[in-house]
Amino acid sequence: MDRLFDKALVRPPEVSYRDCLSKNPHCDSIDYGKTLEQHERYERLLEENGVEVEVLPTMESHPDSIFMQDTALVAESSRTAVICRFGVPERRGEEESVEEYFREIGYTVKKIEPPGTLEGGDILVTDKDKIFVGLSERTNREGVKQLSDHLPGVEVIGVPVSEVFHLLSGVNYIGDGTLAVCPDIVDESYFDDFDMVEITKAEQNTKYKNKPINMLYLGDCKVAMPEVYKNTGDILEQIGYTVIGIDISEFWKGDAGMTCPMLPFYKGI
């Protein structure tokens, strides 16, 4: 299996998710019941494709806690968890139960300390001992430096991000040394060592702006993505990928994409 992980943590949404920090103009229409259904379907998607899913308790006090990806970087081979420090102060505290979980299962826990900030949505793990980290409004250079210090032997590369919250809205790993990249969002020259599939803004559905690149690679040339992105799906299918489209409209209303609700255990680091 050429995907980067075989296990992931998820956290179901609470009713308080309707109060998440989204800047999406449709956030006021978040439907909690539908969000819960979509999250359950997301869990099944992972399990149906051989990913072991562990479910952490809900956190009513933290509306955005459904988006587990931002809390940490998990290096399974070295049994290390780097606990992130949110760039958005209102989300700080979500990571505490994640830190507790990894301490309980015997992982080495390292932390991003002030003034560093780092969010998992800015972290692109690849199959070439390289990790790219978005320098965004959520992640700063000090956070990138500390991540590099915590991961000896792994090359950590900062990539400027300005148009979107996180790097993974502009580039994602899709297996076998290949990245899906939107050159309108990120500078492709950072990824010269990789094969690239370009997805331009012209391919992006205006309803779900800047989210088609945030796709989830499940291994064996299978990519999961929001079902609304027909053009992007066609591009991938034409070059041999199987595209699994699912409805994540309520995640999108919370400014999230396909990778956001899970925290993967990366096998190669």
> Which class for 238: exposed (0-12), middle (13-18), buried (19 or more C-beta within 10 A)?
exposed
Cα gap 20→27, rounded to integer Å = 8
The stretches of the chain forming alpha helices (DSSP H) are: 32-48, 94-104, 141-150, 230-238, 249-253
Cα gap 177→172, rounded to integer Å = 11
For residue 68, give every residue at least 6 positions away whose Cβ sits within 8 Å of its Cβ, in sequence order, or none.
9, 10, 11, 56, 98, 260, 261, 262, 263
Cα gap 167→200, rounded to integer Å = 15
Amino acid, single-letter form, for residue 163 = E
Average pLDDT value over all residues in the chain: 94
Q: Classify 36 as helix, strand or coil.
A: helix
Give the up-direction half-sphere exposure of residue 127: CA atoms within 13 A in the CB hemisphere: 17
pLDDT, tens digit (0-9, with 9 covering 90-100), for 92-140: 999 999 999 999 999 999 999 999 999 999 999 999 989 999 999 999 9
Radius of gyration of the chain (CA): 17
Q: What's the domain range around 74? A: 5-266
Write down the pTM of the prediction: 0.96
The one catalytic residue among 20, 39, 166, 182: 166
The residue among 74, 67, 100 whose CA lies nearest residue 5 is 74
Walk across the sheet containing 195-198 and list its strands: 171-173, 178-181, 195-198
Residue 27 bears catalytic tag: no
Tally of domains within the chain: 1
Q: Classify 180 as helix, strand or coil.
A: strand
Residue 166 bears catalytic tag: yes
User: Which pLDDT does position 229 carry in this prediction?
Assistant: 85
Residue 50 has pLDDT above 80, yes or no: yes
Partners of residue 243 on adjacent β-strands: 223
The one catalytic residue among 20, 84, 182, 260: 260
Q: Indicate which CATH number applies to the domain containing 174.
A: 3.75.10.10
User: Which pLDDT does position 213 carry in this prediction?
Assistant: 85
The stretches of 16-169 forming alpha helices (DSSP H) are: 32-48, 94-104, 141-150
pLDDT, tens digit (0-9, with 9 covering 90-100), for 99-108: 999 999 999 9
pLDDT, tens digit (0-9, with 9 covering 90-100), for 170-228: 999 999 999 999 998 899 999 999 999 998 766 555 455 556 689 999 999 999 999 88
pLDDT, tens digit (0-9, with 9 covering 90-100), for 60-79: 999 999 999 999 999 999 99
The residue among 262, 263, 250 whose CA lies nearest residue 17 is 250
